[in-house]
């Protein structure tokens, strides 16, 4: 189970990396809104999942 939690944390970090990647001045500049959206979704979804798993662990399920 520890590897699964670490994978979720790595996904959150990857979401932050997508938000911070500089795409200005490259041929990928047009994809910046898409990478920002994917990064935000990754952060929110995996964070909510970790909060849910933490609450389930506290409640004993």
Q: How many domains is the chain built from?
A: 1
- Identify whether the C-beta of residue 12 lies closer than 8 Å to the C-beta of residue 5: no
Q: Which residues contact 29 (CB under 8 A, 6 or more apart)?
A: 23
- Identify whether the C-beta of residue 42 lies closer than 8 Å to the C-beta of residue 14: yes
Q: Which residues span the domain enclosing 42?
A: 2-59
pLDDT digits 0-9 by tens, 4-59: 889 999 999 999 999 999 988 899 899 999 999 999 999 999 999 999 999 998 99
Closest CA to 11 of 34, 54, 45, 35: 45
pTM for this prediction: 0.85
Q: Which residues contact 61 (CB under 8 A, 6 or more apart)?
A: none
């Amino acid at each position: 189970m520890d590897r699964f939690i670490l994978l979720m944390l790595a996904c959150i970090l990857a979401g932050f990396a997508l938000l911070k990647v500089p795409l200005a001045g490259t041929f990928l500049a047009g994809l910046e809104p898409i990478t920002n959206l994917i990064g935000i979704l990754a952060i929110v979804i995996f964070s909510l999942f970790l909060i849910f798993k933490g609450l389930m662990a506290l409640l004993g399920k």
